[in-house]
Structure 1
Amino acid sequence: MKKLILFLIAPGFMALIAGCGSTGGTAGASMEIADGVEYGETDYQLIAEANNALGMKLLNDLSDREDGNIFVSPTSLYMALAMVYNGADGVTKEEIAKVLEAEGLTAEEMNKANASLIAKLGSNSDAIELNIANSIWAKDSYRFLESFRESSQDYFNAEVEMIDVTDTASADAINEWVREETNDRIDEMVESPLPGDLAAILLNAIYFNGTWQYTFIEELTEEQPFYPADGSTAEVPLMVLEEELAYMETDQFQAVALPYGEGEMNMHVFLPAEDSSLGEFKSSLENENWSAWMTNFESRKGLVKLPKFELEYEVNLNETLQDFGMETAFDTVDLSKMFEESSGLFISEVKQKSFVNVSEEGTEAAAATSVAVLETSGSAEPPFELIVNRPFFFTITDDETGVILFMGLIENPS
């Protein structure tokens, strides 16, 4: 099924950049930016292409590292790292800017672009539910800079909470927040209890539920052969749709746009030609080609057979982000624009969990991205073991003077 999942990544780029969504339903917070927060209506254009480029790089990197299905949210990752960028300075800020293709953007410009994106995606639609939520949880011994707290709340709609990391209720509260914002589709984002040296965790959650504009007829869904790249054959339920749709075809692939609602969002499905491969298609997946492809779709009557499936996916992105340019943040991170005192910190883990269900009625998808920041002093060295089961030397000393009162070599204590 690896072939299928890549086809479904691409629509996420366009859906989250060009679509409209409802803030209703069971997923949580409003996506309305507070009155008085200044940003331009089109500021999201500063990060739209960079968001897509990050997703394409991410997909290529992960598929090179592992076999099997992959499903990620570039927007969830981008927004989580943007919140870190908002509180970063020095080398950390430079490295995150490289990953986000935001060189030259100030933190204020990045904040305004994200606010603009959230507002743009927050338009109402009866057939599409989209929720984007952010939160920041910090150890209660730290103090946020007021400028960081205000910008996080204003531009990212972020909930900012101080927690006792030794209390198991703190981990429960974080997991409950993720469950609520993803309509129970993402579970157990953090383990309980939280690490005692946890300084902060920054979270983004995205939930999408869209009804097809043209629903697949459930009675026509039937088990049919699917041919993975390894030469095997699998039986999968293929859904059937015959409709006039946006379609394009090249020597390398066929592609179709399957609209949600009234066409505010689309799933773009790309099928490599029989004499091509998913690997060849992946090598051509870049922003310049993507932009060109999006202009070449034309309305055409046709038949689509699409697998019906459900997938859960989880990935640690530390190595990937280091390869992308965040080379030092996993050793030492400069968050001097976030905390009053921020020395001795490092990013311990960037993790994303995702879910997607594609059925005759539509598509439900969710993702959550966490950035965990730990204290260096708490994890610099692992616990030691000293098992005295062979000859040893010992002393008895006076602490104040340093004088050795006794010393001995023990060959056999029995």
Structure 2
Amino acid sequence: MKHKRYIITTALASLLLISGCSDNNQSAYNDSLLKAKSITIDTKEIDEQFQNSYYDMSLSLLKQQDLSDSNLISPLSIYTALGMTMNGADGDTLEEMEQVFGLSSTDMNQYLSNYSKNLGQYSSANSIWLEESFAEGVKQDFLNENFSFYSSEVYKTAMDDKSTKEINNWVSDNTNEKIKKIVGKLDGSERMILINAIAFDAKWETPYETIEDGIFTNYNGDSQDTSYLSSDESKSYINEKMSSFTKTYEDGKYAFIAVLPSEEYTIDEYVNQLDSEQLSQIIKNQENREVYTQMPKFEQEQDYQLINSLKNLGIVSAFSDSANFSRMSDNGNLQISEIRHKTYINVDEEGTQASAATSVTIKETAAMVEENEDIILNRPFLYMIVDVENDIPIFIGTVNEL
């Protein structure tokens, strides 16, 4: 029997470019735009409940990866993708997802909806793509919730080669061509694709003026020639396990926090002992302390398959024959068959460009210090791009080699 596939996707796109859509591409997919119904919703401001969930999940997902390699994940991208998916889950499937996230589906909706209203330097767009014959069977409450909480546009399409182009054009338009492809060839068996696209432009508040040549010692102990961005920074947090500093972006809402473990720790040892309380301290306790810093210019891309990671954390039934996505549709027995997460970052003297994409595929189955400090990131380090108003990391990653 030919399996039907339900693809739920999110893309967190470039920090570099956010300008408007191309009219030529936009007109192609707008021809199929449908109307979803707006319902009355409640929202929640980011608080400690959300922060604690977010810190735990961010670290748990990072620790599931190969920490002897460089890594970069976007917790916000993953939260958005699975938050939308949870609106279609029920029974044990929903219970497992809520337990792992530490939030109910309602809480996820309310927090993320409120958060998306004050994005500052980045924009967000969401869409749902329905196969033409399948569209009538999708539950209206599922569409209405995603429209009302996530402002999801709804499109009806044939799921063919033309649809592939239209969907990828939508993603490209909403990321100003930074992410050009989120779906591959469609064969008509796909029934639903959900996409979140975020574009974020972040220039340093104070661009780097000094660039020095130097050596970076990677995870394997090999020396690599690199260019270091050098500056004096006024915010830092230092304890016996690590030294960190903050460099702010121009609007003051976002910041880059770099964390250099003490020499007694390798990067994997440090990350594995890091807990949400320590992460919270690093983010929230940056002090007025002047430090001289050097950070290598770096660029990296990552591609993850997250099903095993989420299984290890406790989401199991969603990937099995016992999955319950009955709040999405009554058409067939649905289960998640793939969760893919792709990320990109580039850090240079002007600012930061970063991107991420998360796809979920569902198929039918049967204090002040007097002395100055130097923080030289010349060996593997942890870093975050943080929303400093809400104290949540949009990106979190490690640099093990250049």
Q: Name the TM-score class by shorter chain.
A: 0.7 to 0.9
The 2-side partners of 1:327 and 1:195 are apart by 28
Compared with structure 1, are the counterparts of its residues 369 and 207 closer, same or farther at alpha carbon in structure 2 (3 Å cutoff)? same
CA apart distance, 1:204: 2.4
**Residue equivalent to 1:224:** 214
Matched, 1:176 2:169: yes
Partner amino acid, structure 2, of 1:264: K
**Residue equivalent to 1:155:** 149
The 2-side partners of 1:325 and 1:334 are apart by 16
**Residue equivalent to 2:398:** none
**Residue equivalent to 1:390:** none
CA apart distance, 1:51: 2.2
**Residue equivalent to 1:351:** 340
**Residue equivalent to 1:118:** 116
Q: Which has the larger radius of gyration?
A: 1
Compared with structure 1, are the counterparts of its residues 41 and 261 closer, same or farther at alpha carbon in structure 2 (3 Å cutoff)? farther
**Residue equivalent to 1:199:** 191
Alignment partner of 1:235 out of 225, 233, 247:
225
Count how many residue pairs are aligned between Structure 1 and Structure 2: 337
TM-score by length of 2: 0.77
The 2-side partners of 1:292 and 1:319 are apart by 29
- Confirm or deny: 8 A CA contact 1:152 1:158 kept in the other structure: yes
- Confirm or deny: 8 A CA contact 1:211 1:361 kept in the other structure: yes
Compared with structure 1, are the counterparts of its residues 155 and 98 closer, same or farther at alpha carbon in structure 2 (3 Å cutoff)? same
- Confirm or deny: 8 A CA contact 2:84 2:146 kept in the other structure: yes
Partner amino acid, structure 2, of 1:231: G
CA apart distance, 1:364: 1.2
Aligned pairs for 1:60-99 within 5 A: 60-63=63-66, 67-99=68-100
Aligned pairs for 1:321-400 within 5 A: 321-332=310-321, 333-339=323-329, 341-376=330-365
The more displaced of 134-143 and 231-240 is 134-143
**SS of alignment partner, residue 87 of structure 2:** helix
The 1-side partners of 2:39 and 2:82 are apart by 25
- Confirm or deny: 8 A CA contact 1:52 1:287 kept in the other structure: yes
Partner amino acid, structure 2, of 1:171: T
TM-score by length of 1: 0.75
The 1-side partners of 2:89 and 2:102 are apart by 16
The 1-side partners of 2:284 and 2:356 are apart by 28
CA apart distance, 1:93: 0.8
The 2-side partners of 1:270 and 1:201 are apart by 37
- Confirm or deny: 8 A CA contact 2:39 2:144 kept in the other structure: no
- Unaligned runs of 5+ residues in structure 2 are 1-11, 27-36, 367-402
**Residue equivalent to 1:272:** 261
- Confirm or deny: 8 A CA contact 1:76 1:367 kept in the other structure: yes
**SS of alignment partner, residue 115 of structure 2:** helix
- Confirm or deny: 8 A CA contact 1:223 1:235 kept in the other structure: yes
Tell which has more relative contact order, 1 or 2 (C-alpha 8 A, sep 6+).
2
The 1-side partners of 2:253 and 2:46 are apart by 20
- Confirm or deny: 8 A CA contact 2:325 2:335 kept in the other structure: no
The 2-side partners of 1:296 and 1:25 are apart by 35
CA apart distance, 1:369: 1.2
CA apart distance, 1:46: 4.5
- Confirm or deny: 8 A CA contact 2:17 2:199 kept in the other structure: no
Aligned-residue identity in percent: 28
**SS of alignment partner, residue 133 of structure 1:** strand
CA apart distance, 1:295: 4.1
Partner amino acid, structure 2, of 1:177: W
Deviation per CA, 1:44-84: give whole Å up to 9, x if none: 654333123211111110125xx422111011001110111
The 2-side partners of 1:358 and 1:346 are apart by 38
- Confirm or deny: 8 A CA contact 1:205 1:369 kept in the other structure: no
Alignment partner of 2:290 out of 285, 290, 301:
301
The 1-side partners of 2:316 and 2:43 are apart by 33
CA apart distance, 1:317: 0.8
**SS of alignment partner, residue 116 of structure 2:** helix
**Residue equivalent to 1:284:** 273
The 2-side partners of 1:287 and 1:53 are apart by 5
Alignment partner of 2:306 out of 317, 331, 340:
317
Deviation per CA, 1:143-194: give whole Å up to 9, x if none: 22111111111101112223222x11112222222222333222322211x2
Compared with structure 1, are the counterparts of its residues 231 and 24 closer, same or farther at alpha carbon in structure 2 (3 Å cutoff)? closer
**Residue equivalent to 1:385:** none
**Residue equivalent to 1:145:** 139
- Cα RMSD between the aligned structures? 2.7
Deviation per CA, 1:310-329: give whole Å up to 9, x if none: 22221111111111222121
**SS of alignment partner, residue 329 of structure 1:** helix
Partner amino acid, structure 2, of 1:212: W
- Confirm or deny: 8 A CA contact 2:16 2:352 kept in the other structure: no
CA apart distance, 1:212: 0.8
**Residue equivalent to 1:50:** 53
Matched, 1:134 2:126: yes
Partner amino acid, structure 1, of 2:302: Y
Deviation per CA, 1:317-353: give whole Å up to 9, x if none: 11111112221212233221122x2322221111111
The 1-side partners of 2:172 and 2:144 are apart by 25
- Confirm or deny: 8 A CA contact 1:27 1:207 kept in the other structure: no
CA apart distance, 1:98: 2.3
- Unaligned runs of 5+ residues in structure 1 are 1-15, 378-414
Partner amino acid, structure 2, of 1:158: S
**SS of alignment partner, residue 137 of structure 1:** strand
**SS of alignment partner, residue 199 of structure 1:** strand
CA apart distance, 1:40: 3.6
